[in-house]
């Protein structure tokens, strides 16, 4: 059997074993039709049932109100960085952005191509190791954009800002479905699927209907939200297999008690690893304690040489993907929904053993 592997990669990330086994069992013959879900028409009654079920489960589990559209798009969050300002900004209008790190910075760069960008708050002064708690919102902003969880920096909004009548748009790629949120507080939520809800290739967009009505005219067809609303995510061939996996993941979340059940498990996993960091003389967390992410836990060891040894030995012991992002170095453990509590417990045991052996 060899060493048991635990997947701590930041993305594409771990998927539930139960989901992958079911997909494996149905891969060649989906529900007795003699064909794979990957080779049937996206306009067939079989796939129609899949995409409708995926949307309905998302609405039920995440608490999406009726006055929101749920779309399955492509291009990842990176395409949304440009698609959002393309639809809602022009050279005479402005949007507010909260700059919390690498991914927020990429969104800001794209928005500047279409209109004025006001930085309503930033944590640049401390190398993006915290989430700001004071915001300078513009009264005439078309929207406010935040990144709910910075995968690279390991920081996460614990509470969301009140933007009044200005639509709040959130990139939730790395923490969507990990905790309860009030969807009605947002004008739009979007997320690449490859962290918590499915494989790479699908982008989930949840957009309030009144905001969608404000999309600009004269846009290229595929980059206009109205296109995908009018032809419910079926204007062109969607990522069928990815949407099928999202449906299975939603069913898995439902079995665990929905968002409440997932959130409880995630809280336990994060508390266990952070306790290890806080009580160690070798490991230290890199972020402000009030802004700590429960999805991406970043930490350093006392020297870079020790970090290299730690990652090498951890990999050999079955703990995969612990190397920090190349832009910041160090270590990172991603504890997405599908990471079992057992995996974190075993990682903590390894970390304690490594510390004793390398004092």
- Of the candidates 233, 255, 277, which is a domain's last residue? 255
In a domain, 266, yes or no: yes
Cis peptide before 338 (omega within 30 of 0): no
Q: Pairing between strand 296-300 and 149-150?
A: unpaired
Candidate list 57, 142, 171, 175, residue with the active-site label: 171
Candidate list 57, 69, 96, 103, residue with the active-site label: 103
- Condensed to tens digits (0 to 9), the pLDDT of residues 185-242 reads 999 999 999 999 999 999 999 999 999 999 999 999 999 999 999 999 999 999 999 9
Is residue 230 flagged as an active site residue? no
Residues 322 and 269 in one domain: yes
Residues 234 and 266 in one domain: no
Q: How far apart are alpha carbons 304 and 291 in whole angstroms?
A: 25
CATH of the domain at 25: 3.40.640.10
- Of the candidates 255, 277, 309, which is a domain's last residue? 255
The residues, ordered by sequence, that sit 6+ positions from 88 with a Cβ below 8 Å of its Cβ are 95, 142, 143, 211, 214, 215, 216
Residues 158 and 284 in one domain: no
Q: How far apart are alpha carbons 91 and 93 in whole angstroms?
A: 6
pLDDT tens, the chain, 359 aa long:
689 999 999 999 999 999 999 999 999 999 999 999 999 999 999 999 999 999 999 999 999 999 999 999 999 999 999 999 999 999 999 999 999 999 999 999 999 999 999 999 999 999 999 999 999 999 999 999 999 999 999 999 999 999 999 999 999 999 999 999 999 999 999 999 999 999 999 999 999 999 999 999 999 999 999 999 999 999 999 999 999 999 999 999 999 999 999 999 999 999 999 999 999 999 999 999 999 999 999 999 999 999 999 999 999 999 999 999 998 999 999 999 999 999 999 999 999 999 999 98
Is residue 91 flagged as an active site residue? no
Candidate list 57, 116, 142, 195, residue with the active-site label: 195
Q: Are 153 and 287 in contact (CB under 8 A)?
A: yes
Closest CA to 326 of 119, 161, 152: 152
In a domain, 1, yes or no: no
Q: Pairing between strand 168-171 and 149-150?
A: unpaired
- Of the candidates 221, 236, 255, which is a domain's last residue? 255
In a domain, 309, yes or no: yes
Residues 320 and 338 in one domain: yes
Residues 133 and 29 in one domain: yes
The number of domains in the chain is 2
Residues 78 and 223 in one domain: yes
Is residue 171 flagged as an active site residue? yes
pTM of the model: 0.97
Residues 188 and 271 in one domain: no
Structural domain range at position 322: 6-13+257-357
Residues 207 and 96 in one domain: yes
Q: Are 24 and 253 in contact (CB under 8 A)?
A: no
- Condensed to tens digits (0 to 9), the pLDDT of residues 43-55 reads 999 999 999 999 9
């Amino acid at each position: 059997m060899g060493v048991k592997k635990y997947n701590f990669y930041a993305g594409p990330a771990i998927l539930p074993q139960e989901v992958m086994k079911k997909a494996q069992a149905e891969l060649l013959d989906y529900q007795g039709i003699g064909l794979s879900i990957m080779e049937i028409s996206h306009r067939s009654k079989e796939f129609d049932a899949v995409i409708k079920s995926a949307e309905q489960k998302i609405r039920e589990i995440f608490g999406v109100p009726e006055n929101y559209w749920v779309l399955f798009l492509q291009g990842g969050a990176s395409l949304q960085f440009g698609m959002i300002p393309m639809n809602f900004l022009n050279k005479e209008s402005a949007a507010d952005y909260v700059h919390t790190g690498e991914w927020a910075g990429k969104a800001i760069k794209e928005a500047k191509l279409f209109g004025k960008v006001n930085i309503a708050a930033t944590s640049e002064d401390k190398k993006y190791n915290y989430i700001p708690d004071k915001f300078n919102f513009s009264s005439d902003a078309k929207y406010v954009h935040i990144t709910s969880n910075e995968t690279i920096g390991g920081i996460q909004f614990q509470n969301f800002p009140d933007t009044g009548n200005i639509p709040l748009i959130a990139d939730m790629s790395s923490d969507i479905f990990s905790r309860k949120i009030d969807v009605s507080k947002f004008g739009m939520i979007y997320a690449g699927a490859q962290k918590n809800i499915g494989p790479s290739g699908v982008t989930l967009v949840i957009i309030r209907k009144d905001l969608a009505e404000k999309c600009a005219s004269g846009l290229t067809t595929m980059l206009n939200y109205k296109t995908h609303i009018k032809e419910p995510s079926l204007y062109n061939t969607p990522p069928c297999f990815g949407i099928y996996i999202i449906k299975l993941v939603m069913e898995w979340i439902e079995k665990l008690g929905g968002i409440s059940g997932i959130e409880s498990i995630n809280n336990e996993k994060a508390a266990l690893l952070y306790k290890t960091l806080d009580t160690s003389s070798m490991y230290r967390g890199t972020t402000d304690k009030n802004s700590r992410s429960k999805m991406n836990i970043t930490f350093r060891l006392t020297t870079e040489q020790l970090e290299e040894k730690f990652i090498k030995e951890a990999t050999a012991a079955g703990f995969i993907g612990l190397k920090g992002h190349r832009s910041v170095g160090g270590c990172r453990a991603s504890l997405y929904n599908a990471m079992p509590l057992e995996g974190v417990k075993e990682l903590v045991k390894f970390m304690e053993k490594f510390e004793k052996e390398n004092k």
